[in-house]
Amino acid sequence: MGERWLIPTLSFLCVVALFAACLLGSTAMPFERVLAAILGGADPADRLVIWTIRLPRALAAWLTGAALGISGAALQGLLRNPLAEPGVLGVSASASLTATFALYFGLVTLNPWILPLAAIMGAMIATALLSLAASRTQSVVTLILIGVGLSSFSGALMSLLMNLAPNPFSQADMINWMLGTVANRSFAEILLVLPFIAAGTVCLLVNGRGLSALTLGEDAAAGVGLNLKRQRLWTVLGAGLATGASVALAGAIGFVGIVAPHVIRPLVKHDPARSLIPSALLAGLILVVADIFVRLLPSTNELKLGVVAALIGAPAFVWIAIRRRATDG
């Protein structure tokens, strides 16, 4: 596939996947009925199913994937590390922790904006710590260990909150955030996080050129006029906003932010700036298809989207790590 056709092709596939998500479910709907329901006609029951259940869920999956995909591509460019990704580096876990904290103490009942703000705060704190560590060490292993430490610490605190949950309903909410799901999402919840995802995306795209310069190394990038502190700040801000908002919408979903950029990178000649939009589109496509699989899988209890993403992404992560080591060796 030529690079000029990459974004149009992925955009078309995303539209097809979103439409397929409206077609498929516990009861499949014919193409004509779905199209009529989307256009505002057809039976009121069809419109209810499409506009209240299936389309919001599919859009939530796509937005979550797109946010994680562009954040993963940006973090990989900033850290010059193909293993960097919000989930692997503990950013998603930190965002889940602060979101769970807001749920546990009932802060969400005060104002619905508190949930995305809490998740974004956790994501930005974790990303800032990683950026600071990256400025002090060139070791990929050190960064991964810091990410593992952040994930473990966040997971331990979430387990503590679950242990102390006052009732089963609070505990169920926390489990949802830990495992990740887009079930029962509404347009109201999407609109709540959309400004944060949009702001994060704009931050990353506007500063994408700096990521390309960083491929030369920090000294060379500074030599051609790149302000390293400004680049780190805006990349941290953008990734934190996008990742935090995705966690507020769907909980912690890992590995999609590492798989999508890895697939895209060779198609854009390993340019981090040119990989941002295609990575977002591919990651969104992956999560929509994964969620369709979740809904169609015959099981008593529906699998969580985060579990399916991890089952696909974790082996891919190991393969990328082994391949990188073989290349470095």
pLDDT of residue 226: 86
Residue 301: CB atoms within 10 A of its CB come to 5
Q: Cα(88)–Cα(257) distance, rounded to whole angstroms?
A: 9
Q: Is the pLDDT of residue 120 over 80?
A: yes
Answering whether pTM is above 0.85, one says yes
Residues 11, 281 contacting (CB under 8 angstroms): yes
Give residue 246's pLDDT band: very low, low, confident or very high (50, 70, 90). very high
pLDDT of residue 324: 66
Exposure pattern of 250-269 as b/e (b: 16+ CB <10 Å)?
Answer: bbbbbbbbbbbbbebbeebe
Mean pLDDT value across residues 44-62: 92
Q: Cα(262)–Cα(105) distance, rounded to whole angstroms?
A: 39
Q: Cα(75)–Cα(85) distance, rounded to whole angstroms?
A: 6
Please report the domains of the chain, with CATH numbers, ordered by start residue: 3-328 (1.10.3470.10)
